[in-house]
Structures are given as structure tokens and as C-alpha cells.
Amino acid sequence: MNDIESLLRDVLAERAGDVEPDPDLARRARDAARRPAGGDGRVRWGLVALTTAAAVTAVVVAVHGLTDGSATPVPAAPTSSLPSTSGRVRLVTPTAVPAPSQISLTAGGPTASPGHPAGCTTFATASVSPAEPPPTLTTDGAVTTPPLASPSASGDGRPGDPYAWIALSPPPSVIAVMSDLDQVLDGVRFAGWSVDRTGRSVTVHVVEGPSAAAAEAVARSCARADAPIHLQRVARSRDQLTGLQQGLGASLPASLAGMVDPSLTSLDVERNRLVVPLDGTLTAAMKRDLWARYGDAVEVWLAGPRTLAEPAPAWANA
Amino acid sequence: MRGEDVTFDELVRERGAAWLRLAYLLTGDRHLAEDLLQTALVQVYRRWSAVERADQPDAYVRRVLVNTVISWRRRRSWWERPTASGALPDTARAPGDAVPAGVGDVADGLAARDALWQLLKRLPPRGRAVLVLRFYEDLDDPTIAALLGVAPGTVRATASRALATLRAELAVTGSGGVR
């Protein structure tokens, strides 16, 4: 009679032994990760930091005029939709439920200050190959919808999902743009960025508000010839969603607190909401309570096979 | 090996095989393991300054890798629930089948190993990760907790639940005398 732990050790060691070394891994990883100018695969962070510091110093006065307004919590308008049959339960707008005016989104955090209000023009030239043509933009900066031209209809490779784009091996210029955006975007005027299903363009999610136009200009400056940037306006900033995420444990109703592990929540940048996995079964009352508290800032994902068979609650179709 | 002493390429060349084995044990699928490892390495590359400052760049990468796998499996598991049944894939023999004399112990052992591997793949992502890190990587609970970003008590509880699940499922399948 074997103890399961020793059997487990044996099985894991045996299965691990089946894995052949991948001699191509280093090259593929390097190709996928390398910036256009990264000769030996090492990022010149020192150069980036120096350029960044100079840019921040030059434009620090302008920062104050760009951060107003958008930090105010702005819950999105409720949308009506039926629960999906793919295992996802989407909170929908019940007519008998109060509007989500009680939503509490706490702004703040270390990313609240824009580090590069002037955008990539303050430093991008240091990392762009001289051979590259000037950046162009494929959108006019208005509210746009990210292109979803993927032939995939499986539902699991959504835009913004790193697994989706990595499987498509985005070109180095797109990876470079993503890296630039990480430095340029702040948590107040932006919700983040996502890569489309083709891996060939990036969508920047800009918070609607007085600073939106300036924020879009910042994002637009990061586009490159073969790495276009699309713009999409959203209701909530990254800091707001992060604040909601951090305070979720305290703000959840008691009936749901035991069903949620706050450490498993995640931000869905593309859909501008916090994804909260739940272990258990939601009653209609719980769903109403969730909607009343968070509106569509929170999306609940139910784990467990019973999700598929769960009928749409009556209040969802009212 | 400190991060500042090694380049990204050198680190991948030196530790890539071990990471791939870990990714495979975490996913149960070779191709998925390669893809997720590459995803993790892209993130590592983009945060290379942090890796360079790390005393143990290998541990840093493993942390990114494990969390990449858990995140992917978690997301996928909520998108897709293809079956609600507890049916296992085929094993070496069906429970109760007659076994030729003299090969019963061997068959039991193979069936138990195969069943355990299949069951491991069906565990929740964090439970599977805890077991792999504990029983393959031989990490202690505090190290696993730091790697997963959870409390040590959570690691112990997760491991306990996962092992209990495996014991119960193996008992149901009749795949060998495992306690």
C-alpha cells in the first residue's frame, strides 16, 4: 500500500522526466521579448531611467493641469445583457434593483501620478530604430472599438489575454509599444492597455473625463508604424479598480464574504471591470446585492460545473 | 547566481529546461507549458531590472511562471466547463476487471500512477501548484507561500484539501491501495 505523497513524488518525477529539453527556448523567448534595439537581450534601463527623469523634469508643471476630474469615481451606465451560457455569469440590470449609485471606487495608489505627461515623445526616440519610419496612427483618436479580426471563435483567447497574443508572437515593435505604454500610462487617466487578437495592435483604455483628450494624446504618441494604437474610452481608471480590488474584502456583503478569496480577483482591463471568482452558488438576492453595491464594475465568475446549468434568474429578464 | 551577474539569455539557457519541466507539471500539457513559459519569460524580460536586483533570479522567474500558469488556468476554467461529470480518462484497466495472475501488483501500480496524473490535472490551479511545488520542487510551505503570494496557512490548507481530493478520487476509481 503506497502513501499518496510518495506516489505523488514518483509520478511527478516520472512525468518531469518525460519532458525533453527545448534547445530553441532561449531563442524563441528572446525573439518574443526583445525590444527592437535590444542587441544582447538586456534592457537598457539606465538609459530609460535617465531619459525618463529628464522628461519628467521638463514637463512637471504641466502635470497639475492633466490630473483633475478623472479621478472622481464614475460608475459606468448599467447595461442589460443575459447571462452567458459559457460558464460565465454576468450581472445584469434588473429593473427592480436600484441603480448602482452606491458604488464605491477608491482612487489612489502609487501609480496616480503620470510619469510622462508628454507621452512617448519624451523618450521613445531612444528606443526606436533609426530605420523605422515616423509613427502613424490608425485611428482619429475618437472613441473607437478595438479590432477583433481574429478568426478564433473559441472564446478563450480574448484580447488582453497574454496567452492569446503570445501564441501569435507579436512583432518586436508591438512589444516595444507595450513596454513604452507601461512607462507612460498613469493609473488616473487610464485603465490600461490590451493587445488585440492578432497581436498586431494595441488598444489603450482611456478614462472618460476632462483629461481624456490629453490622455489620448499621450497614448497616441506611443504608436509606431507597424504597431498602431487604438483608443477606447472607459468609465473607470486603473487606480479606481485597484482600489475596489484592495477594499473588496471589507466591502463585500457578509453573505458573500466566505465565497470570495480576494487574492484571486483580477482586473479585466479590456472590459474595465474587476473579475471576482466565487466558490459557491449565488442566489438572486445575492446578485441583486452585488449589483446594488458595485454595478458593472464587478463581474462575478462562478467556479464549478453547476454554473452551466444555472438558469437565468427571473429578475434578469424583468 | 545573482541577477546582476547574468543576462536574460544566459538565465534562460541555464534554467530553461527546469522551468519547462515545472511548467509541464503545472499544466499537464507540453505545448501549453511552452507557451506559458514563453509568456512568463516575456514578462521577466520586461521587468529585467527587477530580476537583476534579485538575489535569486531563478526563484523570481519561477514565481512569475507559477502565477502565469495559475492565472491562465483560472481564467480558462471559468470560461470552459466542458463536463460536469467526474469521469476519468481511460486507465490501464477498469475497476473490477480481472487481472492475469502475477501482474496484478504491476497493473495496480501503473493504474494508480496514471489515475493520479489525470486527477492532478483536474485539481484547481492553486492546489495543483502547491502539490507540484511541495512534492516535485521540494519547497517548504513558507517558500511556497511567498512564491504564490499567500499565507503559509493557506498553503497548508490548500495542500491538505488537494491531497484529500486525490485520496477520495483514487478510492472511487479503485486505482490501487493508496491511503
Q: Per the CB < 8 Å rule, is B75 touching A161?
A: yes
Q: For residue range A279-289, what is the model confidence (pLDDT) as tens digits?
A: 777 777 887 88
Q: For residue range A56-70, what is the model confidence (pLDDT) as tens digits?
A: 555 554 544 444 444
B104 confidence band (pLDDT: 50, 70, 90)? very low
Top mean-pLDDT range of A77-81, A169-173, A222-226, A284-288: A222-226
* A128 pLDDT higher than 90: no
Residues of B in contact with A305 (CB under 8 A): 81, 83-84
Pick from A8-12, A23-27, A271-275: least confident: A23-27
Backbone conformation region of residue A227, classed left if phi is above 0, alpha if psi is from -120 to 50, else beta: beta
Partner residue facing A42 (CB), from B8, B42, B83 = B8
Q: For residue range A87-122, what is the model confidence (pLDDT) as tens digits?
A: 334 443 333 333 333 333 443 333 444 556 667 776
Instruction: Identify the pLDDT of residue A169.
Output: 55
Q: Mark which residues 155-184 of A lie under 8 Å from B by CB.
A: 155-156, 161-163, 166-167, 175, 178-179, 182
Type of residue numbered A68 = D
B23 confidence band (pLDDT: 50, 70, 90)? very high
For chain B, what's the residue count? Answer: 179
Q: Would you state the cell numbers that stand for residue A135, as one nine-digit string?
A: 509613427
Q: Per the CB < 8 Å rule, is B77 touching A155?
A: no
Instruction: Identify the pLDDT of residue A265.
Output: 74
DSSP readout, A57-83? HHHHHHHTTTSSSTTS--PPPP---PP
Partner residue facing A30 (CB), from B9, B113, B117 = B9
What's the Rg (C-alpha) of chain A? 22
Top mean-pLDDT range of A264-273, B59-68, B85-94, B165-174: B59-68
Q: Mark which residues 18-77 of B lie under 8 Å from A by CB.
A: 20-22, 24-25, 30, 33-39, 41-46, 48-49, 68, 71-72, 74-77
Q: Are A260 and A277 in contact (CB under 8 A)?
A: yes
Mean pLDDT of chain B: 74
DSSP annotation of A126 reads G
Alpha-carbon gap, residue A46 to A40, rounded angstroms: 15
Apex CA A164: angle with CA A163 and CA A168, to 5°?
Answer: 110
Pick from A264-273, B23-32, B90-99: least confident: B90-99
Q: For residue range B106-134, what is the model confidence (pLDDT) as tens digits?
A: 556 677 788 889 888 888 888 999 999 99
Distance from CA of B24 to the nearest CA of A (A): 7
Write the CA distances from B174 to A286, B93, B162, integer angstroms.
40, 10, 18
Alpha-carbon gap, residue A51 to A144, rounded angstroms: 31
CA atoms within 13 A on the CB side of A88: 18
Whether the predicted interface score ipTM is above 0.90: no
Exposure b/e, A52-82, CB count within 10 A at least 16 = b = beebbeebeeebeebbeebbebbbbebeeee
Minimum CA–CA partner of B70 in chain A: A264
Type of residue numbered B18 = A
